[in-house]
Amino acid sequence: MEDSFAYHSIESLLLDDDFCGWVRGEKPELEEYYSEKLKQFPEKARIVNTVISIISTLSEDQQKVPLSRKIEIWEEATKRAKAKKRKPVLAQFLKYAAVFIVSALITAVVYYFVDYDGYEKYMASTPPSVTSNETKLILGNGEEIEILTEEANIIYKNKGTQVEVDGKEKYEVESKGKAKTTPTYNQVIVPYGRKSKIILPDSSEVWLNAGSRLVYPSPFEKNSRTLFLEGEGFFIVAENKEKPFIVKTNQLKIEALGTSFNIKAYPDEPTEEAVLAEGLVSLDFRDKLYNNNIKVQPNQKVTFSKLKKEYLVQEVIVNDYISWIDGMFIFKDQSMDIVLKRVSRYYNIEILSTKELAMKKIAGKLDLKDNYIGVLQTLALISNGSYSEHNNKIYFRPKI
């Protein structure tokens, strides 16, 4: 049998774990084997010597720390470990117990005070919007339709029994002949980077912004038109005094007769917002502890803080809040962090920022029809920062 050792090159020896281990003195059991090989193939001596000198050069790089310093670090470590150990048992138990009680309490409170209904249950049973890259329409019969266009156009026809997507395909909303007991929900899921426009069975219109979900029965229920929104949507409600139009979000419940308004309720933002463009809406908080029927006038914005459970009513310029429909994003006295979140949602790109810059309040106008580079440049200018792109992530830092 031929010996593979004869074919070794510098490279292949460097790659050979056994040989390297032997050179490094970690494999004494191979001592005999290799000295035998070297005797057998004296012509390999030059190569072997080169490899040994490469390995010894590569493993030369060793920082030495004085022993006294090592001892200091070790003693401090043992001290800290002891201090850590002594406290716990009871303290740690109490900590966990407290967390458990509080979270159990919150869950109980939420279940007791928020009128959970079929919507939440349905939402929980379907995947969140961020997991797909395409806009999705899920019909009452369970059929899922993927829509590949940037701005999906979804129109309900024939009193909500049929739906048309992007002016072409038509789908039956429900399976035929099924007895109707509970309402069956339809859902539109708009991923990051997309938008969608929906004409509902009652011919009300909804624009959905990137990263949003809208759930509604089709046809609507007998005595109301109730929808559930996560994310941002602008609604133009068709008048129908007998059937109030109700939009529920995680925290809010907005009831309208015939009007237009914008709602923003992203799970990852600290507030939910409703802005009224026309007409009159009444707004309520879903948590019964904070029941407070507010009549919102045109050009008013209601902001509800999820954490503080407080709300604020302000006069605003409505256009600033609905300009996203036309691909414009206008903000005033907004923290950079929220602006970056929205840009990141809109273009479906990951953006990170230093805390310092994220806290900064900025004002400006972004044309989202631009490609994202233009928008990032404008943002850097407005915030007096700079950005860099690395591994598909955008990093914002203060200008140096």
Closer Cβ to another protein, 259 or 353, answer by number = 353
Binding flag, residue 101, another protein (CB under 8 A): no
Which residues in the 357-396 window bind another protein by CB under 8 A? 358, 391, 393, 395
Of the candidate residues 3, 76, 115, 150, the single one contacting another protein (CB under 8 A): 76
Q: How far apart are CA 272 and CA 309, in angstroms?
A: 11
Interaction between residue 353 and another protein (CB under 8 A): yes
Written as six digits, the tokens of 106 are: 């919150």
In the complex with another protein, which residue's Cβ is closer, 295 or 393?
Answer: 393
- Structural contact between residues 211 and 150, judged by C-beta atoms closer than 8 angstroms: no
Distance CA 140, CA 185 (A): 5
**Residue 144 is a binding residue for another protein (CB under 8 A):** no
Can residue 58 be called a binding residue for another protein (CB under 8 A)? yes
Q: Which is nearer to another protein, 26 or 169 (CB)?
A: 26
Question: 87 Cβ partners below 8 Å, 6+ apart?
Answer: none
Q: Site for another protein (CB under 8 A): which residue of 236, 238, 338, 352?
A: 352
Tokens representing 210 are: 């990137």
And the tokens for 333? 């006295």
User: Smallest Cα–Cα separation from 213: which of 189, 234, 247, 248?
Assistant: 189
Min. distance of Cβ 39 from another protein in angstroms? 25
Site string for another protein, 283-302 (x = CB under 8 A): --------------------
Strands, sheet with 350-353, edge to edge from the N-terminal-most edge strand: 350-353, 393-398, 385-390
Nearest alpha-carbon partner for 153 in 214, 215, 213, 198 = 198
From the CB of 77, what's the least distance to another protein, in Å?
Answer: 4
Measured CA to CA, the distance from residue 171 to residue 221 in angstroms comes to: 20
CB 400 within 8 A of CB 393: no
10 lies in the binding site for another protein (CB under 8 A)? yes
Residues that bind another protein (CB under 8 A): 10-11, 14-15, 17, 20-21, 24-26, 50, 53-55, 57-65, 69-70, 73-74, 76-78, 80-81, 84-85, 352-356, 358, 391, 393, 395
